[in-house]
Amino acid sequence: MKIWFLGTGAGRPGKHRNVTGIALQLPDPSCHWWLFDAGEATQHQLLRTPLKLSKLEAVFVTHLHGDHLYGLPGLLSSRSFDGGITPLRLFGPPGLKHYVDTVFGISGTQLDYELHIHELTAPEGEIWDNGTVRIEAGALEHRIACYGYRVTEREQPGKLLVHKLEELGLTAGPLYGKLKQGQSVALEDGTLIRSEDVTGEAKPGRVVTILGDTKPCANVVKLAKGADLLVHEATFARGMEEKAHEFGHSTTAEAAEAAAAAGAKRLVMTHFSGRYGSEDLIRLEAEAAERFKPVTAAVDLMMLEVNRE
């Protein structure tokens, strides 16, 4: 898995930060990727990455504030021009369908693919499984309806124990592949070989949690439980908790506390107020590091690998 930070600023674009957009490239062999939020100019930022709109499989909108949404109509339209013909799923809070239908209706936009819009009405739970990864949503505490998303990769089969297969008289070939995929196979003499008997311990799937805007709340910890990577907003510096909560946001220290409480393995902070310049990120990162490590203050177009342990 790879994750790109297409915009790391809050509220409006700045000289060095675009507004929110995060791309998650799914594990091989799917080659698909998902987008979380699409602030203004998100598709411009995508042009500076290797990601192709034709490979975009789903978009997840955390909430309907403009800095997370205004780039969506143009991006969906451009996908047709980039050869996107496969269906696209769009998830987000109630009102998302009305927004997209209104913009496309007024502008006369026609898409060359099916767009399936799913509005989230339940407070939490699994919302989709594409066979490789599944995604859950949970309500956060912001000024309007807002969600966080938890992406969980399926468990990976363990390594084939070749010496055991050789002892059973099985040579390399198609049956190896079936066993690797977790299937049982039968030999010509009727002997049944179970995958679990000839493979090592299965590898747990990776977990990535991407939150929308939020002040501290129980669902933050629930969505981030044991995550390999937690992406948490840190709109304000430590000591500005009162102001942060007034606007439904969190501070660097609160992002770190959430990561620690959830037992996350890595924290990336984003959604920084425009009051902070690029030179301030070192200080913001250091504030969080006093309570949780490893932590990174994201910058635009930063890409991270989410590796298996």
Q: Both tokens of residue 41?
A: 């100019």
In contact, 22 and 60? CB cutoff 8 Å: no
pLDDT tens digits, 31-49: 899 999 999 999 999 999 9
Instruction: Share the mean pLDDT of the chain.
Output: 93
Kindly tell me if the per-residue pLDDT of 68 is higher than 80.
yes
Question: 129 labelled as ligand-binding?
Answer: no
In contact, 45 and 303? CB cutoff 8 Å: no
pLDDT tens digits, 84-132: 999 999 999 999 999 999 999 999 999 999 999 999 987 779 999 998 8
Question: 63 labelled as ligand-binding?
Answer: yes
pLDDT tens digits, 157-205: 777 777 887 777 777 778 777 777 777 888 777 788 888 777 777 788 9
Question: 142 labelled as ligand-binding?
Answer: yes
Beta strands in the chain (DSSP E): 2-7, 21-25, 33-38, 56-60, 88-92, 115-119, 124-129, 133-139, 147-153, 185-186, 192-193, 207-210, 229-233, 267-270, 295-297, 302-305
Q: State which amino acid sits at residue 226.
A: G
Question: 67 labelled as ligand-binding?
Answer: yes
Task: Tell how far CA 165 is from the center of its chain.
Answer: 38
Over its C-alpha atoms, the chain yields an Rg (Å, rounded) of 22
Question: What's the start-to-end Cα distance of the chain, in Å?
Answer: 13
Torsion of CA 221, 256, 146, 37, to 10 degrees: -120
In contact, 116 and 89? CB cutoff 8 Å: yes
Under DSSP, the state recorded for 157 is P
Residues belonging to the active site: 67
Query: Pairing state of beta strands 33-38 and 21-25?
Result: antiparallel
Residue whose token pair is 């030179």: 279
Helix (H, G, I), strand (E, B) or coil at 302: strand
Work out the angle between the directed axes of helices 96-107 and 72-81 (0-180°, nearest 10).
Answer: 60
Non-local CB neighbours of 291 within 8 Å, separated by 6+ positions: 253, 256, 257, 260
Say how many CA atoms lie within 13 Å of 42 toward its Cβ: 33
pLDDT tens digits, 268-284: 999 999 999 999 999 99
Question: 271 labelled as ligand-binding?
Answer: yes
Helix (H, G, I), strand (E, B) or coil at 164: helix
Kindly tell me if the per-residue pLDDT of 255 is higher than 80.
yes
Mean of the pLDDT values across residues 253-278?
A: 98
Q: Which domains occur in the chain, in start order?
A: 2-156+203-305 (3.60.15.10), 162-197 (no CATH)
